[in-house]
A = this chain, B = another copy of it.
Amino acid sequence: MAAGSPGTQGGESLLFLTDEQLRKGIEAMFFAYRAFTADPDRILENYEYGRAHHRAIHFINRQPGLTVNTLLIMLGVTKQSLNRVLRTLVEDGLVEARVGRTDKRERNLFLTDSGAALERELSDAQRARMRAAYRAAGPAAVAGFRQVLEAMMDPEIRRHYQSIKDGAA
């Protein structure tokens, strides 16, 4: 059904929905994502951390004080997976887990100074590539890029994504 080539249906306005166009989009996602993770991965080789640590650090930096459960939802992994990562970060003094004030069962997560330093190092590299791509493509392309990515997310995650502070605010 969906496998057919709909080049003749819908007229010119739907040419961007042909299977070929969609497959090119799939490949673009794959190749771009690999480049996107390559720079921080290279830096992480110098530490005893991996991509999972990077992701945790990123979101703790973005939403200081977020709870373990919230981070779990953002990362989309099990608590056992996250705990393995989080434990090493706390032990190494990059992340602080403060007992919640209102609900003492919760842990509010914060980056320490050294955690923030690592975050900056990783983020600098990743943003450099993103900045170069944004600059090369231009503002209109960037807006389209963000629109398509947002439309691709699962709805529940999209709400979380949109709730994180936005620089244009």
Give residues in A with beta carbon < 8 Å to B.
Answer: 1-8, 10-11, 13, 15-36, 38, 55, 58, 62, 76, 120, 123-124, 126-154, 157-158, 161-162, 164-169
State whether B161 touches A128 (Cβ < 8 A): no
State whether A130 touches B161 (Cβ < 8 A): no
Instruction: Please give the count of copies of this chain that the complex contains.
Output: 2
Known pairs A19-B167, A32-B149, A132-B151 / 13 extra A-B pairs, C-beta < 8 Å: A1-B124, A2-B131, A3-B123, A22-B134, A26-B58, A28-B145, A28-B146, A29-B32, A31-B149, A33-B33, A134-B148, A134-B151, A140-B144
Query: What are 27 inter-chain pairs, A to B, with CB distance below 8 A?
Result: A1-B124, A2-B127, A3-B124, A7-B139, A7-B167, A8-B139, A17-B131, A19-B167, A21-B142, A21-B167, A24-B164, A26-B58, A27-B62, A28-B145, A28-B149, A29-B36, A30-B55, A31-B158, A31-B161, A32-B149, A35-B154, A35-B157, A132-B151, A136-B151, A137-B144, A140-B140, A141-B143
